């Protein structure tokens, strides 16, 4: 994990764009509102200005729910609700109702993302991905970016 590079006046690009932060690092992502036994927890990020680009992988052998919605921690607090994030569930995601697409959303003013399931063919209806939709033995990869 590296330190945050800050510039007292930023680095000026042209006439108005200033880069004021750059950082590369890692963190141990966790299920924010559950107890899990992890066999692998890897998270890597790059922060450039007010954007954070990240990739994570979690492998569990046991998980106990403590809430109705699945949340996974992020390395920084999100400034807005933002969804350019992709989730690839390799193993252990079984959304109720048989719906397929899982949509992570970085939650405004929080340092976690919540997971939803598209429940209609139009893509307009979402429900919470709940912990009872997960198996103990699961593998998930998530990548994307969000604003801080």
pLDDT digits (tens, 9 = 90+) for 84-135: 777 777 777 776 655 567 788 899 999 999 888 877 665 567 778 887 788 8
Is the whole-model pTM more than 0.85? no
> Within its chain, how far is the Cα of 46 from the centroid?
14
Contacts of 8 (CB under 8 A, 6+ apart): none
The predicted pLDDT at position 1 comes to 46
Question: Is residue 42 pLDDT above 80, yes or no?
Answer: yes
96 vs 63: CA distance, rounded Å:
17
Q: Does the pLDDT of residue 7 top 80, yes or no?
A: no
Cα–Cα distance list, 101 to 29, 96, 143 (Å): 22, 12, 15
């Amino acid at each position: 994990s590296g330190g945050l590079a800050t510039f007292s006046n930023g680095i000026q690009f042209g006439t108005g764009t200033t880069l004021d932060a750059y950082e590369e690092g890692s963190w141990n992502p966790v299920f924010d509102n559950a107890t899990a036994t992890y066999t692998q927890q890897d998270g890597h990020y790059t922060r450039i200005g007010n954007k954070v680009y990240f990739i994570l992988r979690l492998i569990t052998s046991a998980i106990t729910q403590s809430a109705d919605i699945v949340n996974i921690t992020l390395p920084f607090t999100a400034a807005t609700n933002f969804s350019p994030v992709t989730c690839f569930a390799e193993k252990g995601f079984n959304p109720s109702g048989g719906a397929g697409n899982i949509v992570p959303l970085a939650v405004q003013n929080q340092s976690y993302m919540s997971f939803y399931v598209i429940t209609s063919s139009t893509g307009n209806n979402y429900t919470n991905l709940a912990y009872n939709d997960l198996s103990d033995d699961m593998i998930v990869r998530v990548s994307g970016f969000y604003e801080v």
